Amino acid sequence: MTASSSHTPVLLERSLALLEPALALEGAVLVDATLGLGGHAEAALERNPALTLVGLDRDTAALDASAQRLERFGDRVHLVHTVYSGLRSALDTLGIQRVTGVLFDLGVSSMQLDEADRGFAYSQDAPLDMRMDRTTGITAEAVLAEYTEAELRRIFYAYGEEKLAPRYARRIVESRAEQPLTRSSELVRLIIDATPRAVQRSGHPAKRVFQALRIEVNGELAALEAALPAALDSLAVGGRIVVLAYQSLEDRIVKRELAARTRSTAPEGLPVELPEHRPEFRLLVRGAELADEAERASNSRSIPVRLRAAERVREAA
């Protein structure tokens, strides 16, 4: 697969429109914290000839593909193999103190979903890997083999919001006592067999379990909770951040962090708001924006997306 084939970036035009005023600033630097196949990054570089890009991704295959796609931009591009929670460290290594734009396109990437052997898709048979960075970390197979029933139940509840978590955890422990689960098709069959027929009519029963396993394997929520404050702290005045989230757990973290940064810190009852208490950021959109009907029809991966954005309006006290 080439970097541009079968890849339609979600909310490309809207994301770039929100970032554009920041990308036009002198010395503009955009951090694409979830580079993937580089669709958003390529468009930003094409439209802003003076822009410098810092692209982060934990997936070495994605970095290799994006390196080819973005090669024509030369030394305007710096690619770093890291989880997005390593954003500040990556900037320090590059000698960059402040940036003018940050983009997060969260969740599993198009390439990871499309490559069957990664194990992310419950619709395709593959080894139970699910690591975004295949050079390190625990696999989904190991989680299913080693976690206790209580631990499995916890991650299915917490990361999949799965009501049948106890049933699925129990069946997995019973099944692995006879034979370990090593392939996605085996896990899907187990879940389907354990799901009441009435529940199966409301959607694929494996969806939430696969989401929970992926989040656990990759530590996604903890990484996001660390990455957002680092990204906001790295923005210069006038700098902007855009975050695309695809499930409620991610979106809650983004909503909470942006709400805290756009709220006055003045003590209640203070007659005059002092400058140091004024919000550091302002929201650029009301609530979470959805993809429009045209994009939802042409790109199914845009259906669950929730976009939030903010601009830094003053330095921290």
| Binding-site annotation: residue ranges | 38-40, 57, 84, 105, 112
The annotation places the binding site for S-adenosyl-L-methionine at: 38-40, 57, 84, 105, 112
From the list 98, 25, 103, 34, the residue with the least C-alpha distance to 63 is 34
**Contacts with 299 (C-beta within 8 Å, 6 or more apart), sequence order:** 8, 10, 291
Q: Which two tokens stand for residue 245?
A: 């989230």
Torsion angles phi and psi, residue 311, rounded to 5 = -130, 140
The 8-class DSSP code of residue 50 comes to T
CA distance 39 to 62: 11
Could you tell me where the DSSP H helices lie in 177-243?
Answer: 184-194, 197-200, 207-218, 220-234
CA distance 243 to 241: 7
Collapsed DSSP state (helix, strand, coil) of residue 311: strand
Collapsed DSSP state (helix, strand, coil) of residue 46: helix
Check if the beta carbon of residue 15 is closer than 8 Å to that of residue 302: no
**Contacts with 47 (C-beta within 8 Å, 6 or more apart), sequence order:** 16, 20, 23
Strand 77-81 and strand 99-105: the pairing is: unpaired
Cα-to-chain-centroid distance, residue 12: 15
Collapsed DSSP state (helix, strand, coil) of residue 36: coil
CA distance 262 to 282: 5
The 8-class DSSP code of residue 275 comes to G
Check if the beta carbon of residue 58 is closer than 8 Å to that of residue 79: no
